[in-house]
């Protein structure tokens, strides 16, 4: 009887050991599989992860803090750095429709009226040897005369060497507009990489960055993707692809958190991925970033101005509104 009882106990103990081993192995395998999925997930799967069916308002805005000075204009939003007399970042959405060149460039550089006592001015740049480099390019704001005028605020300027501003930086701006035309809509964040040890110009001690960054997000299915650029503020000769990096790399350099409104897992995958071949690098058009057919189909905006007259801007939007009034209706 005792021998039979002992035999049963041994079987029970053996079964318990097997069960515990199986449970432990299952948990370990699941954790390993999860890590493998995160580290080796394909770019195509980004689109299928928690992608919302609606537009995320303010998606382009990085993580902000209470102590930051956030300024909003018609075409862009910025975080202003009082110590360096320029923006930490400038963010905006650029749509295919907004790449139509409709308004004239003003070249009227003025202090930002919302923070007039804090920004740089003409005297700071005069004879400094540096260009007044746009962060949000004027050409990206040509869909509205107000947006164009506001792009010349000194809060949107940063000291750039002439060969950089008129060279590779300009090429990147043009390529970005090509991409907006190709992919229909982009979320763009641009800024200088600021630190306490920079040289400065002018009586207002406007810091001269050594590097600039640009981040671009295409959040349109099926090919959701993101890319970053870090570019030295000097004469550059390599192809633009050479300066491209992951968004994670820009975050490490700037200590900023981009696209905090994205679902966490999707944000992690987009920002970790550096896929050069996912983007078109050949310039699609020379004079216009829209297909000629789109230009022919453009019509006068049907909205009314504050004076009660019809808006003179052109639009290819199905609802008949130009970029200015389309953005205003979103607010």
pLDDT of res. 17: 47
The enclosing domain of 210 has a CATH number of 3.40.570.10
pTM: 0.74
In a domain, 1, yes or no: no
pLDDT of res. 285: 45
pLDDT of res. 102: 84
| Percent of the chain clearing pLDDT 70 (strictly above) | 69
Q: Which residue has the higher pLDDT, 185 or 291?
A: 185
Catalytic pick among 73, 134, 272, 291: 134
If asked whether residues 101 and 235 sit together in one domain, one would say yes
pLDDT of res. 152: 98
- Which domain range does residue 324 map to? 298-330
**Residue 114 contacts by C-beta under 8 Å, 6 or more apart in sequence?**
71, 155
Catalytic-residue membership of 30: no
If asked whether residues 309 and 188 sit together in one domain, one would say no
If asked whether residues 235 and 311 sit together in one domain, one would say no
pLDDT tens digits, one per residue of 75-117: 999 999 999 999 999 999 999 999 988 898 989 999 999 998 9
pLDDT band at 40 (very low <50, low <70, confident <90, very high): very low
pLDDT of res. 9: 53
In a domain, 193, yes or no: yes
pLDDT of res. 314: 55
If asked whether residues 209 and 139 sit together in one domain, one would say yes
> With contact defined as beta carbons under 8 Å apart, do 292 and 252 qualify?
no
- Spatial separation of the C-alpha atoms in residues 79 and 225, rounded to whole Å: 25
Largest CA distance in the chain: 105
In a domain, 172, yes or no: yes
If asked whether residues 122 and 214 sit together in one domain, one would say yes
- Spatial separation of the C-alpha atoms in residues 324 and 144, rounded to whole Å: 6
If asked whether residues 253 and 322 sit together in one domain, one would say no
**Averaged pLDDT for residues 253-282:** 96
If asked whether residues 167 and 249 sit together in one domain, one would say yes
């Amino acid at each position: 009887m005792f021998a039979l009882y002992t035999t049963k106990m041994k079987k029970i103990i053996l079964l318990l050991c097997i069960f515990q081993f199986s449970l432990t192995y299952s948990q370990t395998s699941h954790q390993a599989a999860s890590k493998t999925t995160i580290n080796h997930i394909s770019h195509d799967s980004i689109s299928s992860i928690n992608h919302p069916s609606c537009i995320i308002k303010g998606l382009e805005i990085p993580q902000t803090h209470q102590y930051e000075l956030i300024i909003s204009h018609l075409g862009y939003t910025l975080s202003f750095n009082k110590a360096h007399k320029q923006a930490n970042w400038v963010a905006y959405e650029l749509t295919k429709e907004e790449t139509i060149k409709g308004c004239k460039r003003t070249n009227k550089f003025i202090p930002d009226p919302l923070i007039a006592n804090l920004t740089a001015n003409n005297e700071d740049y005069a004879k400094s040897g540096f260009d007044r480099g746009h962060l949000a390019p004027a050409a990206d704001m040509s869909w509205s005369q107000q947006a164009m005028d506001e792009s010349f605020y000194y809060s949107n300027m940063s000291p750039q060497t002439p060969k950089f501003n008129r060279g590779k930086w300009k090429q990147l701006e043009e390529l970005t507009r090509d991409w907006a035309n190709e992919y229909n809509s982009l979320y763009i964040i641009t800024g200088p990489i600021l630190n306490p040890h920079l040289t400065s110009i002018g009586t207002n001690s406007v810091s001269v960055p050594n590097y600039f960054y640009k981040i671009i997000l295409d959040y349109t299915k099926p090919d959701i993707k993101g890319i970053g650029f870090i570019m030295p503020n000097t004469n550059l000769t390599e192809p633009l692809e050479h300066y491209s990096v992951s968004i994670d790399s820009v975050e490490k350099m700037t200590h900023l958190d981009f696209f905090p409104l994205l679902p966490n897992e999707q944000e992690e995958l987009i920002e970790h991925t550096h896929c050069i071949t996912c983007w078109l690098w050949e310039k699609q058009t020379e004079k216009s970033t829209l297909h000629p057919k789109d230009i022919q189909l453009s019509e006068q905006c049907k909205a009314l101005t504050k004076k009660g007259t019809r808006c003179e801007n052109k639009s290819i939007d199905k609802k008949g509104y130009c970029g200015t009034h389309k953005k205003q209706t979103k607010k």
